[in-house]
Structure 1
Amino acid sequence: MGSRTVDWNVAVSTATRLIKAGPSVPRAEADRAVRALREFSVRAETHVRETTGLGQDLPVVEGDVVDRPGWLHGAARGLAELTDAALDTADIDLERGNGELLGGLGSRSAGVQAGAVLAYLGTKVLGQYDPFAPVPGEDRSGRLLLVAPNIVAAQQALEVPDEDFQMWVCLHESTHRLQFNAVPWLREHFAAGLGDLLTEMEGSVGEVLSRVPAAVREMRPGRDGNERHGAGEPSPGMLGVIELLQSPRQRAAMDRIIAISTLLEGHADHVMDAVGPQVVPTVHTIRKRFTERRAGGGLLDRLLRSLLGVDAKIKQYAQGAAFTRHVVDTVGMEGFNAVWSGPEYLPSRAEITDPATWIHRVHG
């Protein structure tokens, strides 16, 4: 797996050595879970189409049920394709190697670091739709991966019915698959947005470090003891620190990526719960326990989540779901689907937290 920034073969081999084994499950139970997930990956998308009105005429393809190593390989292939697609749109000279954020890190070293991240996430991820992953043996991209051992482990930890939980997970991932397959411009737009971010990130480490003093001042408590970024608010996490170190153009590029990611995740969370009651009788119990589980974990786990941006992603689910819910309640699902009309109709990061502004802009 070639890439111009990361040696993904090194990443996979590193992750394979580091990743923990999945739960011990009797073979018959494991086989049942695999069969159910394959079936639900098709049934779930049918329900999602009925709820969203998207992709009615598209073929439904069965999802790929994988183990943890299978997810590692699939995720690495998809990330390699996404990175290269983004770099194709970015004006970056990776050969200069003069200490730049991208060029200053060797691809093998980057592969080791990426592998450590994949090893951690490989025990957490339940499933994903990767629009950039090539499909083995076929001339197309886009794979829905369902990580069976992680789904089984989560279901057991939550103590909820297995088939309800399996369908619930498939509803979320099938929504992502439908988003990219029913909206033909979305894949390229997402890659271009990442390319813009990479372009703006180019610059010497010294330039970034030169902004540290200002960032520290922003984070320092004021005379009244409140943080300067907002009275009474907690100090920013890793994402907040990164944003404080960014230039205005870098922040604008990141805002665009965060906005679209928040929309996609929140929309999927909203849909999985909206579909839920008729096909997942215990959906409310699952949602409550799953939300509590997202916020839990030991000190080391919470630290890793923060450093890897997982906590920021959890906030994306909540913000995006709240945006979707407000818009659907106000203008209906058909009105919400205006977000898929073109890039200019996507909500900005500010509009995600103020959906009434998006409604006014798009629907007048």
Structure 2
Amino acid sequence: MSESDVGSGVDFGFAATVGGWLARPAPAMTDYTRRQVVEELHTSARAAEPLVREVTGLGDDGPVPDARVIDRRQWIAAAAESMRVMMGGSEQPAGFLSSRLTGAQTGAVLAFVSSAILGQYDPFCVDSTTGAGQLLLVYPNVVAVERQLQVTPADFRLWVCLHEVTHRVQFTVNRWLTGYMAEALAVLTSSSGPDLNQVVGRLADHLRGRGDDSEAPGPSGILGLVRAVQSEEQRTALDQLLMLGTLLEGHADHVMDAVGPLAVPSVETIRSRFEERRQRSQPPLQRLVRALLGLDAKLSQYTRGKAFVDAVVERVGMDRFNAVWSGPQTLPLPAEIEEPQKWIDRVL
């Protein structure tokens, strides 16, 4: 274990190893199918970029970066490296055994998530040749979902790429977003929060306030537990990240719908079946794990964020909406996500 593998007492190299061991096997496919889906995802990502630039008004006619089309284990390794960068990988470990233990726990979480990620733009997973973040597309998961939904593979792959390429455009055009995220994450992962007695006291007060509710807490309940043990500075940073995530996801969903009818012939079928899959009931244990990881809260971000972007673009147009990317001061506040006119009045 090298010093560079460790950040905040977590052995991220070991996390990647454990996550690789625990990752679920990919859906069965022939070598021909594997090569075909990998090639088509590369092509779809390149095709999506000019469509996204045109609809959003962001970017120019510059070259389109290549995507990385990877499997689940490769995604786990990339995610562990990204977490190491975000959490300050040059710090000294808290101890060999403790860093290995937290590394194993982190790897188990990454293994669970690795079968659900279709793709993502990771601004912290930097390409050594370009110095920019990377667009990651997890081809086994794309194949698994398109089979489950019984949709046209070519259409579904382009549809997925439209969403993820929008994130790449958001970050590459607005370079300040990466630093803004990094600063908020640094606050969240700092050890300068309340002492143990304060944490226990806040947590006990929060749990007593729940009364006799014996059901597992949902996303809002889990978020409440997290907030209960945070300092005021950390709660502010968490709110900043939640609002930014809501905007980014909602904007990407808006772009998917704006581009979809022209570029994806079966977009209505894909959207309806995908939304049905999002809302499908799950076993209690899986619901609890998803809530603990914040995955269900992420689904709420899609809905609330898209409603905000839809409303603002309808009222003022995309060019004026793009003022939202001017800097941290023009990002929507929590109240403005629910009432877009308040953001229009304040910013425009």
Distance 1:48 1:167 in 2: 12
Percent of aligned pairs with the same amino acid? 44
Change (3 A) 1:63 1:266: same
Change (3 A) 1:168 1:110: same
Q: Is the 8 Å Cα contact of residues 201 and 250 (structure 1) preserved in structure 2?
A: no
Letter in 1 for 2:50: T
**What are the ranges of 5 or more consecutive residues in structure 1 without an aligned counterpart?**
88-93, 98-102, 226-233
Task: Quote the residue 1:148 is aligned against.
Answer: 139
Task: Quote the residue 2:296 is aligned against.
Answer: 311
Letter in 2 for 1:362: V
Q: Does 1:108 pair with 2:100? A: yes
CA drift at 1:243 = 2.3
1:2 to 2, 5, 9: 5
Q: Is the 8 Å Cα contact of residues 142 and 157 (structure 2) preserved in structure 1?
A: yes
SS in structure 2 at match of 1:49: helix
Distance 1:251 1:123 in 2: 30
TM-score by length of 1: 0.87
Letter in 1 for 2:288: L
CA deviation string 1:127-167 (max 9, x = no partner)? 0110111225x251311110000000000001111011100
Distance 1:205 1:269 in 2: 41
Task: Quote the residue 1:165 is aligned against.
Answer: 156
SS in structure 2 at match of 1:145: strand
Distance 2:314 2:75 in 1: 36
CA drift at 1:290 = 1.1
Q: Does 1:132 pair with 2:130? A: no
Q: Does 1:281 pair with 2:265? A: yes
Q: Is the 8 Å Cα contact of residues 39 and 62 (structure 1) preserved in structure 2?
A: no
Q: Is the 8 Å Cα contact of residues 219 and 235 (structure 1) preserved in structure 2?
A: no
Q: Does 1:49 pair with 2:48? A: no
CA drift at 1:240 = 2.6
Q: Is the 8 Å Cα contact of residues 215 and 245 (structure 1) preserved in structure 2?
A: no
- The CA RMSD measured in Å over matched residues stands at 2.4
Letter in 1 for 2:250: G
CA drift at 1:310 = 0.6
Q: Does 1:338 pair with 2:323? A: yes
Distance 1:151 1:190 in 2: 27
Task: Quote the residue 1:175 is aligned against.
Answer: 166
Letter in 2 for 1:249: E
CA drift at 1:39 = 0.3
CA deviation string 1:40-98 (max 9, x = no partner)? 0111111000100101143211211111111111111222122228x9xxxxxx8897x
TM-score by length of 2: 0.90
Q: Does 1:327 pair with 2:296? A: no
CA drift at 1:36 = 0.7
Task: Quote the residue 1:241 is aligned against.
Answer: 225
Change (3 A) 1:189 1:278: same
